[in-house]
Amino acid sequence: MISLDPRPAVIGTRLSKIKRIIAVTGWKGGIGKSVTASTLALLLAKRGLKTGLLDLDLAGASDHIVLGTNGLFPKEMMGLEPPMVYGVKFMSVAFFSSNKAVPLRGANVSDAIIEMLAITQWGELDFLVIDMPPGINDAALDVIRLIPQTEVLAVTTSSVLAHSVLERSLDLYNDLKVPVLGVIENMSGREGGRPKNCAGRLRYDAGLEAALGDPDKILMTKFAQDLRKIAVAILKMR
């Protein structure tokens, strides 16, 4: 059957001026994936790199809380132009959902993702960071299908259960031939037992919670310092 939907063809044009696309993913909730994605985008922008952040966690969008985006909204200009937050172009379903969960399933999830990718005007970027929803589901598979140049950066915790889910998910990404940059272990609290493909560990930072909503404070946390070292190593930030 021939698809009459023009949007997938538009997506390539929208993303054509982006050098690298990093999907920050994790396979369990509550592991710090959104904070990691948002802080990574802030770190990249702080180093003078043109950076965008796309929150694709449709049911649990959180990046707007991390960044403190109250009062901001995309501009309409031949599509939607993301607002700038501390040097980061930011797009999220939260702009349109009145801070409520978006109860989508099946084809509606794919439709929402295609719409966001097709209407967002990113322009020229060095990096686009995508905050993925937990798991390998419709959203993750759509990103892989629609953005074949995507590179995956995985987040986990030191939990034995989280490591087990991680290893199974990494095997699936390998089967799909999706490049995995590495795994970040967040809230690291034990010695040994490093996860497969571990790129580094983020120490538990008791001060991180109080910094959320203020990018300046986030960048001063131990969490951000640890993430910067990992990012320099795996993304070859200048």
The Cα-based distances of 216 to 42, 85, 193, 196 in angstroms read 9, 11, 33, 32
Instruction: Give pairs for 168-173: CB < 8 Å, separation 24+.
Output: 169/27, 169/135, 169/136, 170/196, 170/197, 172/136, 173/136
Kindly state the average pLDDT of the residues 113-136: 92
> Is residue 2 pLDDT above 70, yes or no?
no
Domain ranges (residues) in the chain: 7-235
> Any idea of the CA torsion for 178, 45, 120, 68, to the nearest 10 degrees?
110
Q: What tens digit of pLDDT does each residue of 53-90 get? A: 999 988 888 999 999 998 899 999 888 999 999 999 99
The answer to whether the beta carbons of residues 149 and 178 sit under 8 Å apart is: no
Domain at 7-235: CATH code: 3.40.50.300
Q: What is the pLDDT of residue 199?
A: 85
pLDDT higher at 38 or 203: 38
Q: Which pLDDT does position 236 carry in this prediction? A: 79
What digits encode the pLDDT tens for the residues 146-174? 998 999 999 988 877 777 777 788 888 88
Tell me the pTM: 0.92
| CA gap 139, 90 in Å, rounded | 19
Please report, rounded to a whole number, the percentage of residues in the chain having pLDDT higher than 70: 92
- Three-state DSSP class for 229? helix
The rounded percent of the chain whose pLDDT value lies above 90 is 50
- Per the prediction, the chain carries an average pLDDT of 87
Q: What distance lies between CA 64 and its chain's CA centroid?
A: 12
- Evaluate if residue 188 carries a pLDDT over 80: no
pLDDT computed for residue 18 by the predictor? 97
Sorting pLDDT into bands at 50, 70 and 90, what band is 192?
low
